[in-house]
Amino acid sequence: MNYCDNTLLRGGDPSLSNKLNSLKRDLNSIRTQQKFLDGYKTVMINNIDKIIALVESRYGKTFSEDVELVKKSGRNIIEKIMNAQSFDEIAILEDVFKTNVVLPTYRLFIDDMKKLKINIV
């Protein structure tokens, strides 16, 4: 599990490094891993639900077909997260999430800005 490896641990942040290493040991422990997995799944599902709600409220009336695709993809990812039995099964979904939720949401934002004639670049 590469939890915070790219930012805090490689950066050598001594104030957080020991706590993160302890947390990583707990994440890899058979005794506590299921609790962490369930908590992680809950956070992921909650965040995806918030993204779907934001996309629907912001772009639903003007880009309804695209919004429906984001909602459908988000719901599919939520279902896969709910059924996941390990962190690895959830990690596999990262590319799917980026491709089917993040990028279309970004495109909706860009298209909305263009429609409003707001130059963002």
Considering the domain boundaries, does residue 120 fall inside one? no
- Does residue 121 lie within any of the structural domains? no
Question: Is residue 86 helix, strand or coil?
Answer: coil
Residue 42: per-residue pLDDT: 95
Q: What is the pLDDT of residue 121?
A: 65
Amino acid 12: pLDDT: 66
What is the biggest distance separating any 2 CA atoms in the chain, rounded to whole angstroms? 55
CB within 8 A of 23, min separation 6: which ones? 3
Task: Tell me whether residue 40 is in a domain.
Answer: yes
Residue at 109 is within a domain: yes
Q: For position 81, what pLDDT does the model report?
A: 98
Q: How many structural domains are present in the chain?
A: 1
Cβ atoms 56, 71 nearer than 8 A = yes
* Per-residue pLDDT, 56: 96
Spatial separation of the C-alpha atoms in residues 83 and 97, rounded to whole Å:
16
pTM above 0.85, yes or no: no
Domain holding 25, by residue range, is 5-115
The answer as to whether 62 is a domain residue is yes
Segments of the chain scoring below 70 in pLDDT: 1-12, 121
What element of type H or E holds 10? Answer: helix 10-11
Q: Is residue 61 part of a domain?
A: yes
- pLDDT at res. 33: 79
